[in-house]
Chains A and B, each alone.
Chain A
Amino acid sequence: MEYFNLFIKSVFVDNMIFAYFLGMCSYLAVSKTVKTSAGLGLAVTFVLVVTVPVNYLINKYLLSPGALAWISPRFATVDLSFLTYILFIAIIAAIVQILEMIIETFTPSLYSALGIFLPLIAVNCAILGCSLFMQERAFSNVGEAAVFGLGSGIGWLLAIVAIAAIREKLRYSKIPKALQGVGISFIITGLMGIAFMAFMGIKL
């Protein structure tokens, strides 16, 4: 039940786009058609589900203060937390590269759907942001971290597919010239964000 609660919360209440603005750049750049945005959303979800638990383990057994005590008691006072950023981003870049190779070898059809988006994802702020939030919230086990990653990914997928659907319809509407394209996308995202705030405070 706790997992379910965490999942719902990370999809709707703490939505990566509407509450934290993470991954905005690709969200605005790739949301022109529903099909490509669904592909990117799936790729982001996929990478989040893998990277967040891995970074959780790295954080727990290497980075947090006193984490090295499992090697020998002499290391109990070591604090490596200043290495967080560089290690997390290296792990993410490596995992994205490995995933790309695995997908290419075993499921070429999935590769042709996700392939072009995978290299983009290493520098998507939603991925690094999710790992950093995971570190800040101090989850108690690796399962929670995985559920958090999955929920955030699904929330991101939901947001990008929704804006892509709206933008497809927008093509036929009359928008002031200066507002076309980026301007109106910003304002629509803002309105969607206000709508999503209705989920705030939900507890299961």
Chain B
Amino acid sequence: MSNLKKLVIEPLRKTNPVTVLVLGICSCLAVTAQLKPALVMGASVTIVTALSNLIISLLRKGIPSRIRIIVQLVVVATLVIMIDQFLKAFAYEVSKQLSVYVGLIITNCIIMGRLEAFALSHGPGESFLDGLGNGFGYSLILIIVAFFRELLGSGTLLGYQVIPQSFYEAGYQNNGLIILPPMALIVVGIIIWIQRTRNPEMQENNQN
């Protein structure tokens, strides 16, 4: 049991897909200017990772290894189309904000990475939990980055005003710079810095 639990908990910290394995950065940064799209994106990626891990794990004995990439792409693309249609139907505003990044879940390296590294060699139950864990790890970073960017950039969280009006009257101003795309990279860089200072065994030696 503790082994199964580890599959879900580990990716949150020790083997976080974003900050430690450096996978799935592309979509991670573009959707984090506000908290709401980041939450939706995190949920979508978690669902796709978990379900595609489950499906590929069920099929793994039947897939010839030469064409496994195509099979994986088809499974993932089908799941992403379902998510995309669902978002268009029930959360149109957010789906417009996410624009092409929903489609780009297909080429998100976390999903392909987990399929290759885990689902092809483990049973369905374990694979499902592993996908869930990695999805949560990804969402966690997304939420942290989006939290700081929305708080400092617009003074709101999920669209609600958080920084009181009296601060603005006293001369406080929103930091417009942090809304711009490049700042997301710097925020992730700082998260990695803090995480590796606290866990020295993760530091890289000076090979760059």
Name A residues whose Cβ lies closer than 8 Å to a Cβ of B. 18-25, 28-29, 32, 82-86, 88-90, 93, 122-125, 127-129, 132-133, 136, 167, 170-171, 176-187, 189-194, 196-197
Which bucket holds chain B's interface residue count? 35 or more
In the complex formed, the residue of A with least CB distance to B196 is A178
**Is there an interface contact between A183 and B192, defined as CB atoms closer than 8 Å?**
yes
Chain B residues with Cβ below 8 Å from A191 are 182, 186
Q: Is the CB of A85 within 8 A of B196?
A: no
Query: Which residues of B are at the interface with A, using a C-beta cutoff of 8 A?
Result: 19, 22-30, 69-70, 73-74, 77-78, 80-81, 84-85, 99-100, 103-104, 106-109, 112, 180-186, 188-190, 192-194, 196-197, 200, 203-208
Q: Supply 20 further A-B pairs (C-beta < 8 A) apart from A90-B70, A123-B109.
A: A19-B181, A20-B30, A21-B30, A24-B25, A25-B109, A83-B81, A85-B103, A86-B77, A89-B73, A93-B73, A125-B104, A125-B108, A127-B107, A136-B100, A180-B203, A180-B208, A186-B189, A186-B192, A193-B185, A194-B180
Task: Return the 10 tightest CB-CB contacts between A and B, nearest first.
Answer: A193-B182, A186-B189, A190-B185, A181-B204, A178-B196, A190-B186, A24-B25, A132-B100, A187-B189, A86-B77
- Is the beta-carbon distance between A28 and B185 smaller than 8 angstroms? no
* Total CB contacts across the A-B interface at under 8 A: 150
* Neighbouring B residues of A185 by C-beta, 8 Å: 189
Given known A-B contacts A85-B84, A89-B106, A125 and B27 have beta carbons under 8 A apart: yes
CB neighbours (8 Å) of B74 from chain A are 86, 90
* Minimum C-beta distance from B148 to chain A (A): 14
Main secondary structure of the interface of B (DSSP, over half): helix
Q: Given the complex of chains A and B, what is the CA–CA distance between A126 and B129 in angstroms?
A: 29
Instruction: Name the distance in Å between B11's Cβ and chain A's nearest Cβ.
Output: 17
Inter-subunit contact B81/A86 (CB<8 Å): yes
Cβ-defined partner of B103 (8 Å) among A84, A182, A184: A84
Residues of B with C-beta under 8 A to A89: 73, 77, 106-107
Q: How far is the CA of A25 from the CA of B181 in the complex (A)?
A: 17
On whether A179 and B196 interact (CB within 8 A), knowing A18-B182, A93-B73, A132-B100, the answer reads yes
How far is A14 from B54 in the complex, measured between Cα atoms in Å? 37
